[in-house]
Amino acid sequence: MIATLTGVLALRDAARVIVETGGVGYEVFIPLSTYYKLPAAGDKVRLEIRQVVREDAITLYGFIDSAEKRAFDLLMQVQHVGPKLALAILSVLAPEELVAAIAGEDVERIDAVPGVGPKVAERVVRELRDKVGDLKIAGAAAPHTNGTALAAALSGSALVDDAVSALVNLGLKPVEARKTVEKVVAEDAAAAKNLEVTIRKSLAVLFGEK
């Protein structure tokens, strides 16, 4: 069972990465919260890994720190929450935000994640409210140095394309995603220089419109 993976980041995408080590490229699916903090392609990266074995596939899911991995594991315990939906939730809610939503029984905040729905959101709160203490958020984040620098370096069409790709991977329609991202970048100078800010503000706009 693979627990961690360290190597060269050969591919950096909003939904997946490829990490090369020992002459092998491992495809790893990730949430946006991890994507924000990744180094540039070609740099060395270390990910916490959860290996999921099914009859027809062995799939790797990667996280920048142990808190994200524990949050993923907890979400996977909820009925009707599979790996794809767990990643979607962590793409919108960081582990500490997920803990706050569950502890405060804020079903609407979890329901706002694309693809979740009120019934699943209610299950997340009901089934995990006594388990969120297992996340141990304090001190869990791994240090990262160049993810912010990379985000700040992105500009213009490259930033817009990356933000649109991230939103589409969450289940939003490409036209809706691009329209929202372009609006956010045009109206917010900070968003125009930072990928994470662009994505978060775009999600806020989309959720506010629903």
Reply yes or no on whether the pLDDT at 200 is more than 90: no
The model's pLDDT over 105-162, given as tens digits with 9 standing for 90+, comes to: 999 989 988 889 899 999 999 999 888 776 655 434 444 434 443 444 344 567 788 8
pTM of the model: 0.76
Which CATH entry fits the domain spanning 4-63: 3.90.1640.10, 3.90.1640.30, 2.40.50.140, 2.20.28.120?
Answer: 2.40.50.140
The model's pLDDT over 56-115, given as tens digits with 9 standing for 90+, comes to: 889 999 999 999 999 999 999 998 899 999 999 998 888 888 998 998 999 998 998 888
In the numeric block, the tokens 């220089």 are attached to 193
Reply yes or no on whether the pLDDT at 198 is more than 60: yes
- Domain edges within the chain: 4-63, 66-135, 154-209
112 CB neighbour count, 10 Å cutoff: 19
Measure Cα distances from 153 to 39, 40, 53, 138, 200 in Å.
12, 10, 38, 29, 18
Q: Which two tokens stand for residue 161?
A: 């394309």
| 68 neighbors 34 (Cβ within 8 angstroms) | yes
In the numeric block, the tokens 């392609």 are attached to 41
Q: What CATH architecture does domain 66-135 belong to?
A: Orthogonal Bundle (1.10)
